[in-house]
Amino acid sequence: MKSILILGASRGLGRALTEAYLAQGQRVIATVRKSEDMAPLQALGAQVLQVDLADPASVSGLAWQLDGKSIALALYVAGVWDGHAAGVPPTQQQFDQVMHSNVLGFMQALPQIAPMVQEAGGVIAAFSSEMSLLGSADESAWLYRVSKAALNMAVASACQQWPGLTLLALDPGWTQTDMGGPGATVPLAESVRGLMNVLTQVQPEDRGSLWRYDGTKTELLGA
Ligand SMILES: NC(=O)c1ccc[n+]([C@@H]2O[C@H](COP(=O)([O-])OP(=O)(O)OC[C@H]3O[C@@H](n4cnc5c(N)ncnc54)[C@H](OP(=O)(O)O)[C@@H]3O)[C@@H](O)[C@H]2O)c1
């Protein structure tokens, strides 16, 4: 049986997707960065790995930990928010924290998991955001926007590297999680349902797109 790998599953969208795929009877491998977050997911039936995606040494053990697994779908969900407006310079620490979790972790994890997902004819999707798009730029959340734009480029640029792999970005919408905050408009269950529905429709020709939970799609690779 093929597995679904969810990177960043301790809470929010990663946790909800883990629960939803387990409820479908799927085999789920979920990663968390803190040891205390392992047991609740194990209790749900997931295989749980401890990986800090911002730490290359921690990510470097991923392929070894997944050895022998056939992975049909891998979701890079981990992400960190920074809401400082454009013009407010991020500190080195803020910059590193956001860029390491949102970009470096994906660039470290992708080469480790791509061969096994490609072999399974599978899909890898990175959680991006509408806020990544140049066309939707405004002054809010400067560093977060930069990080998700960089993540999009990491996805688009890697598409040629593994021709048998369907690699794309997802936008969950403004979702009711810790990150989404109290003003978020999309209930968590609706975002999860939409994302899972989108992922059942993904075809190889969708490589390099940013696909929103409601089914709307933006090409990252150009026409
Ligand atoms: N919610 C929204 O409105 C929204 C909109 C657009 C895009 N997104 C994107 O969707 C994804 C999930 O968002 P969310 O709303 O579920 O966020 P969330 O509730 O804040 O949860 C963030 C998750 O990422 C994990 N994470 C962060 N850095 C990590 C690291 N270095 N190693 C391992 N795990 C790490 C967190 O683990 P810990 O518990 O250990 O911190 C947590 O599980 C993010 O990439 C986010 O940018 C969200």
- The stretch 56-61 carries a mean pLDDT of 97
Ligand 1 contacts (CB < 6 A) are 8, 10-14, 33-34, 52-54, 77-80, 101, 105, 127, 129, 171-172, 174-175, 177-180, 184
Between residues 20 and 67, the one the model is more confident about: 20
Please, which pLDDT band fits residue 221 given cuts at 50, 70 and 90?
confident
pLDDT number for residue 68? 81
> In the numeric block, which tokens belong to residue 54?
């911002």
Residue 8 has pLDDT above 80, yes or no: yes
Residue 91 has pLDDT above 90, yes or no: yes
Please, which pLDDT band fits residue 223 given cuts at 50, 70 and 90?
low
CA distance 68 to 156: 27
> In the numeric block, which tokens belong to residue 106?
């994906």
Strand order from edge to edge, sheet including 209-212: 47-50, 27-32, 3-7, 71-76, 123-127, 166-171, 209-212, 217-219
pLDDT number for residue 163? 82
Q: How many domains does the chain divide into?
A: 1
Q: Which atom of ligand 1 is nearest to the CA of 79?
A: 45
pLDDT number for residue 17? 99
Residue 174 has pLDDT above 80, yes or no: yes
Q: Which atom of ligand 1 is nearest to the CA of 81?
A: 47
- The stretch 210-222 carries a mean pLDDT of 93
Testing ligand 1's pocket by substitution, the residue of 29, 33, 171 carrying the most ligand atoms inside 8 A of its CB is: 33
pLDDT number for residue 59? 98
pLDDT digits (tens, 9 = 90+) for 134-160: 999 999 999 999 999 999 999 999 998
pLDDT digits (tens, 9 = 90+) for 178-192: 999 999 999 999 999
Contact criterion met (CB below 8 Å) for 4 and 26: yes
HEC profile of 201-212: HCCHHHCCEEEE
CA of 15 relative to ligand 1 center, distance in Å: 10
DSSP 29: E
Question: How many C-alpha atoms does 74 have within 13 Å on its Cβ side?
Answer: 28
Residue 113 has pLDDT above 70, yes or no: yes
CA of 188 relative to ligand 1 center, distance in Å: 13
Global confidence as pTM: 0.98
What kind and span of H or E run contains 49? strand 47-50
Cβ partners under 8 Å of residue 149, min gap 6: 132, 133, 134
Q: Closest Cα to atom 46, ligand 1: which residue?
A: 79
Which residue range forms the structural domain that includes residue 90? 3-219
Strand 123-127 with 209-212, pairing: unpaired
Q: Which atom of ligand 1 is nearest to the CA of 148?
A: 47
CA of 223 relative to ligand 1 center, distance in Å: 30
pLDDT number for residue 143? 98
Q: Which atom of ligand 1 is nearest to the CA of 16?
A: 16
Residue 131: which CATH number? 3.40.50.720
